[in-house]
Amino acid sequence: MQKISLMFPGPQRLLWKKLESRQSELSEIRLRVNQPIRVVLEGKEYYLSDDGSVTLSENHAMCIGQDYIPQFLDYVCQYSLYAFEEEVRRGFLTIRGGNRIGIAGQVVLNEQAQIKTIKHIFYVNIRISHEVLGAADRILPYAYENHQLKNILIVSPPGWGKTTVLRDLVRQVSDGNPYERGKNVALIDERSEIAGSFLGIAENHIGSRTDCLDGCPKTLGMMLMLRSMAPQVLAIDELGGFEELDTLRQANACGCKVIATAHGSSVDEVERRFGGEVRKLFELFVLPGRRENGFSLRITDREGVCFD
C-alpha cells in the first residue's frame, strides 16, 4: 500500500507522517480551502492538528491556505494536469495505488452546456484504497456450482467495501482457490481503482490469470476484451447503466461468467433501477456491510435466501 505522505509534495509531507501508523484505519481525507483538514478513521471524523496528530477539537485543527490544494494537485498529476483533462471533467482522478481523488471548484461549461473543465479547484476528497487479501474468502464456498462460477453481483452504498471485495474475488478466481482452479479473468478497470495500475502495471494483487484494461469505459472495454482476450470471467466495477448490463448479458451468453458491483442499499433497489433484469443475470449477491468491529458480508441467492 502506498504511504499517505508520499501522495503529497515534499514540503507538505511532514504533516502526514504521523497518520501513517493508522493508515489501515484511514478511509478518507477532506481538504477544503481555508478550512481545517478532516480525516475519517474507522468511519469516524477527526481533525488533523498542526503536528500531524488527529484531534476531535476544531480549535487544534490545522487550516490549509490557498496554495495547498493547487500544489497537491500539481504533484499528484505529476505536473501534467493536461493529461487528466477528462478525469477533471468527470470530477475525480485516480492516482497511484488506486486512491481516488474527488475534486470540486468552479465549473466551466461549453456551448452545449456540458462540463468543459473545473477550475479553481479548492475542494478535494481523497478516498484511500485498501487492499484486503482474503476479503472474498467467505464468498468462495457459495460462488461455484458444479465447478462453474456463478454470476456474482456485489451491492453496497459507496465506501462500504465493494471494490475491496471485488478485487479479492478477482484475485482468488484468477489464481485458483480451494474450490476451483484458476480462470482467465478480464478486468475492466475504468477508474483504475481495482488494479491501481501505474504505467500499465497493476500495483494491487489481481491474480496471475487476470488481464487488466485500465482506464477504458466499461461497455467498450468489455466488448474489446471479449473479442481479443477470450476471457472465462469478466469483471467490472460499478455497473451503472442498461448498456453495461446488456453487454454483460451478451458476454454471459457467450459462455463467459460475470462479476460486477453496483451502488445500492439492497438487491431490490438495484433490481428496480435496472427494470427487473438483474436477478435474471446474476445468481449470487454479496452485500458488504458495516459493523462496530469492522466489515460484514451478507451472501444471498436470487430468491434472497441468505447462505450464512
Of these, 17, 44, 119, 272, which contacts another protein (CB under 8 A)? 119
Q: How far apart are CA 104 and CA 115, in angstroms?
A: 12
**In the bound complex, what is the minimum distance in angstroms from residue 153's beta carbon to another protein?**
32
**In the bound complex, what is the minimum distance in angstroms from residue 79's beta carbon to another protein?**
4
**In the bound complex, what is the minimum distance in angstroms from residue 105's beta carbon to another protein?**
11
Q: Which residues pair with 119 in a beta bridge?
A: 106
**In the bound complex, what is the minimum distance in angstroms from residue 83's beta carbon to another protein?**
5
Q: Which is nearer to another protein, 86 or 303 (CB)?
A: 86
The CA–CA distances, whole Å, from 194 to 26, 188, 214, 261 equal 18, 9, 9, 11
Of these, 23, 117, 184, 296, which contacts another protein (CB under 8 A)? 117
Q: Which is nearer to another protein, 199 or 253 (CB)?
A: 199
Kindly state whether residue 88 participates in binding another protein, applying the rule CB under 8 A: yes
What are the helix (H) ranges across the chain? Answer: 13-17, 68-76, 85-90, 140-143, 162-175, 218-229, 242-253, 267-273, 278-281
Q: Which is nearer to another protein, 3 or 280 (CB)?
A: 3
Q: Which residues contact 289 (CB under 8 A, 6 or more apart)?
A: 156, 160, 295, 296, 297, 298
Piece in contact with another protein (CB under 8 A), picked from 2-10, 176-184, 218-226, 237-245: 2-10
Q: How far apart are CA 202 and CA 173, in angstroms?
A: 17
Query: Cell numbers of 194, please?
Result: 481495482
**In the bound complex, what is the minimum distance in angstroms from residue 86's beta carbon to another protein?**
8
- DSSP string covering 216-278: --HHHHHHHHHHHH--SEEEES---SHHHHHHHHHHHHTT-EEEEEEE-SSHHHHHHHTTT-H
Q: How far apart are CA 177 and CA 172, in angstroms?
A: 6
Kindly state whether residue 92 participates in binding another protein, applying the rule CB under 8 A: no
Kindly state whether residue 133 participates in binding another protein, applying the rule CB under 8 A: no
User: For residue 241, which of 169, 167, 190 has the smallest C-alpha distance?
Assistant: 190
- Footprint on residues 143-202 left by another protein (CB under 8 A): 199
Q: Which residues contact 82 (CB under 8 A, 6 or more apart)?
A: none
Q: Which is nearer to another protein, 96 or 302 (CB)?
A: 96
Q: Which is nearer to another protein, 82 or 303 (CB)?
A: 82
| Window 46-85: contact mask with another protein (x via CB under 8 A) | ----------------------------xx-xxxxxxx-x
Q: How far apart are CA 87 and CA 80, in angstroms?
A: 12
Query: Cell numbers of 148, please?
Result: 462453474
Q: Which is nearer to another protein, 10 or 158 (CB)?
A: 10
Q: Which is nearer to another protein, 6 or 230 (CB)?
A: 6
Binding-site residue total for another protein (CB under 8 A)?
Answer: 21
Q: Which is nearer to another protein, 201 or 230 (CB)?
A: 201
> Looking at residue 152, what DSSP letter applies?
E
Residues that bind another protein (CB under 8 A): 6, 8-11, 13, 74-75, 77-83, 85, 88, 96, 117, 119, 199
